[in-house]
A and B are shown apart, each in its own frame.
Chain A
Amino acid sequence: MKNYDVVVIGAGPAGLAAACEAYQNGARKILVVERDKEPGGILNQCIHNGFGLHYFKEELTGPEYAGRFEDMLKKTDAELMLDTMVLQISNDRQVTMMNPRQGCFTVQAGAVVLAMGCRERTRGAIGIPGTRPSGILTAGAAQRYINVEGYMVGKRVLILGSGDIGLIMARRLTLEGAKVLACVELMPYCNGLNRNIVQCLNDYNIPLYLSHTITEIKGKRRVEGATVSEVDKNRKPIPGTEKYFDCDTILLSVGLIPENELSRNAGIKIDPRTKGPVVYENMETSIPGVFASGNVLHVHDLVDFVTAESQHAGAAAAEYCKQKTEGKAGSEPCIKMVCGSDIGYTVPQYIRPERIDKSVDVFFRVRRNFSTSSLDVTSGGQKLISYPRGHMAPGEMEHITLPKQLLNKAAGGEITISAKEVQK
């Protein structure tokens, strides 16, 4: 069995950044396994710009952003194995994989970084009434057909859900000559970034119907139309509000789900809120030496944050291999991050204060829209610190930086983050 210091599963933005950073931190035998025929992951089909504003301080397209990390990876000794699917990870970090060249084989990893990304929710997950013709596809599948394969998926398009990929595809389809009739969102707020609402819908006069959903799909063989209804506070359709759209295509942008089948089978603890692994401050999962970062951990809005998180995971994986961080497992003090009012989840879920140098970043999402607001950090009923915020929305990931001294004040091993409205 071949031995590696670090095995990274996935060569999308998360995997590439983790591998590069593991190398920078001293890991030498690195294997990056990718199921596709080229690295880059989903960025390869994201040909629009807006990537890298935070990390590179410039606007890149998806393939350009991925390309920079591919170049960085080439400068390391890391081995990139393409067209290869990981089938299993054992809890002692043996990774079994398969490809057409070598068949099925297993390698031993000192540390593993999970960077498998996420997948899109489908029609079956949300149960839209009506027939089941062709022409109903996820926004990502449409993006692949158009941007990678060079084919159009329809002429008159209705988009259900206001995730970023849906918004991006509204613009893309319009530029390709299709008529995008509307974007319909069940929730009273948009799930995508504000900049995408402006640049992809408003600029092209595509209406956004909030608190609406598709209540019937029509068409025997191919989509022939769809009925859209307004929903009440309990998200139930309101009779009498039906609008009919004459469309041949329905794109779904109704949420992303971290792809954790491998993690689950390995016995890694999954957070039901993020649907990703529960992690410590260094992105280590419940299995020692197995780390996770990027969309497999929690769904991000911006690739720049995926990169930062993955660098963190990659560095920690390299450290783990050097055996520097082992020995105290289980006995170390550990703070549990608790979701207070209107906080959907946090990443990390646990913080081991002894492993923090200066501060730790905690990422999370709020559950509803806020205008002027504040984020309160409390422990044992005592307020530790408060961060003023302006507008906050579920579609935009938030983060706070907790200084080490603050962690030392955590009573009962818990820290709670809550969001609240502030009167002007």
Chain B
Amino acid sequence: MYDVTVIGCGVIGAGIAYELSHYALSVAVVEKENDVACGTTKANSAIVHAGYDPEPGTKMARLNVEGSNMMEGLCKKLNVFYKKAGSLVIAFDNSDMDILKELLERGKQNGVKDLRILTKKQTLEIEPGLSHEIVGSLYAPTAAIIDPWGLCIAMAQSAVLNGAKLFLNSTVGEITDEGGFYRIKAGNNVIETKYIVNAAGTFADKINNMVAKPFFRILPVKGEYYILDKSEGSLVSHTIFQAPGKFGKGVLISPTVHGNLIVGPTADAAEGPEDTSVTAQGLEKVMKTALRSDTHVNFRESIRNFAGVRATADTRSDFIIDASPDAPRFVNAAAIKSPGLSSSPAIAKEVRSILESIGLVCEEKDFFTDYRRETLFKLMTAEEKEKALKSNPLYGRVICRCETITEGDIRSVLNGPIPPVSIDGVKRRCNAGMGRCQGGFCGPRVHEILSRERKVPMEEIVQDRADSYLLTGETKMGRMENEKL
């Protein structure tokens, strides 16, 4: 019997599990995919919003600012890429400037620090590449860029290291109230638990409806993006937004913590909770809108397009973070769209205190060990490199040439508390395959290392999620001949 079961292991579920694993509780985490961070967490703008967007007085406003304040320390503790790059909302005319003033006012009410309006000249001084059509901007120095899946993986791994039990490949099929506890059928597992936290992202309505009265529906909104090569990564040094207006929050241009440039997103109704397809129209829209902010965005250096879905709810614009009014010991952490990533550490604390308010006893553990993300060889100091090479000479073998990721780096993440089972799982943990050739060279080599280290046949290794198989069997000559060579 678990004290708490968290359904969903994106950045929200992982954050909650991480928070709860600091306490003397037995915690289970149920995830339908073969890895954590497989949904919205891996497909978003990868930024920490300062907190001037949400309506003052909402949960979203409070948790965004709290989360943003906590993020730097958390990332330092977990060795997650984070950089306080700051953000600019640029205005093209006076009505845009009015919007910026509104945002400034909201930001002040929400408690965002150091927020201020810049003139055109001041804006172009700190961001000289921007369009000269702008008339001013709203500068938020506390906004940041982050590795979103890195944060999720680090929190999930820390939770597991401190006793949480992670069930992967476990789609929740049924939840029954057994009077005093719940029984969850998830994949091949039956999990008994006193409390449930619903952090199921774009499936959160379905999970809620298994135990409680339906009161919201997730209407997923899709956002399409471009990732540009590292050669374009320093085009801007802040996250650049356009004044929100008829186009919604609009298309941003931002450096990423990995050194690339991210451009997007669109905001169109998705065809389902997992509709992450990109469209010609969507990509064109991103391109056109972004070029208005900065005419130098070089889309010919695109290395990847992707789309993510946000878990927008139909009935309300705020996050749904509450104990269920009708199902006992059941807490929703639902409708977590943007700024969900930014709010995630604060949401985790909020959920813990809600659980306490409905009877969960949380006693802090004497010992807690954070699982710090492995430092990549290329980012080590000269002394660290020397030490790493001595302890494992495989740090000397570069596997991913675009990102200079070594076999030592890959082996190291394969030994983590939640070892990756797919090529993209390796990528999310150590960046192999994230570069300009998109795994063209290193894909087959990572494939081989995964197969060898996990002692799983090559044919069973997947690209990403379950059934994303790569090979359909051996060639006519098979491998025997090859091995003789």
Contact = CB atoms under 8 A, between A and B. Distances in A.
Q: Do A and B bind each other?
A: yes
A146 to B, nearest CB: 6
A150 B277 contact: no
B163 to A, nearest CB: 32
Contacts of B303: 122, 124-125
A146 B475 contact: yes
Interface in A124-182: 124-125, 127, 129-135, 137-138, 140-141, 144-146, 148-155, 176-177
A155 B472 CA distance: 7
Given A101-B393, A148-B482, A141 B440 contact: yes
A133 B468 contact: yes
A102 B395 CA distance: 11
Contact of A100 (B393, B441, B466): B393
B398 A35 contact: yes
Tell me which of B283, B393, B469, B477 has the highest count of chain A C-beta atoms within 10 A of its own C-beta.
Answer: B469
Interface string B456-485: 001100111111111111111111111000
Interface residues of A, number: 52
A389 interface: no
Nearest to B398: A85
A221 interface: yes
Interface in A408-424: none
Given A99-B396, A102-B396, A150-B478, A122 B437 contact: yes
B391 to A, nearest CB: 12
A152 B475 CA distance: 5
Interface residues of B, number: 59
B203 to A, nearest CB: 15
A215 interface: yes
A119 B441 contact: yes
A140 B437 CA distance: 12
Contacts of B443: 137, 141
Contact of B462 (A134, A141, A237): A134
Contacts of A237: 280
A119 B440 contact: yes
Contacts of A35: 398, 401
A149 B482 contact: yes
A131 B464 CA distance: 13
A322 interface: no
Given A150-B479, A151-B474, A134 B277 contact: no
A38 to B, nearest CB: 10
Given A150-B479, A151-B474, A177-B476, A221 B276 contact: no
Contacts of B437: 119-120, 122
Interface string B198-220: 00000000000000000000000
A98 interface: yes
B444 A122 contact: no
Tell me which of A122, A146, A177, A215 has the highest count of chain B C-beta atoms within 10 A of its own C-beta.
Answer: A122
Interface in B250-285: 274, 276-280, 283
B397 interface: yes
Contacts of B398: 35, 85, 98
B185 to A, nearest CB: 23
26 contacts: A87-B404, A101-B396, A103-B396, A124-B227, A124-B304, A127-B278, A127-B302, A129-B283, A131-B277, A132-B276, A132-B278, A134-B470, A138-B440, A141-B443, A144-B444, A149-B458, A150-B480, A151-B474, A152-B473, A155-B472, A176-B475, A177-B476, A215-B280, A216-B277, A217-B277, A222-B467
Interface of B: 226-227, 231, 274, 276-280, 283, 302-306, 385-386, 389, 393-398, 401-402, 404, 407, 436-438, 440-441, 443-444, 448, 458-459, 462-482
Given A101-B396, A127-B226, A176-B476, 7 more contacts: A85-B401, A124-B438, A129-B278, A134-B468, A140-B440, A149-B482, A220-B274
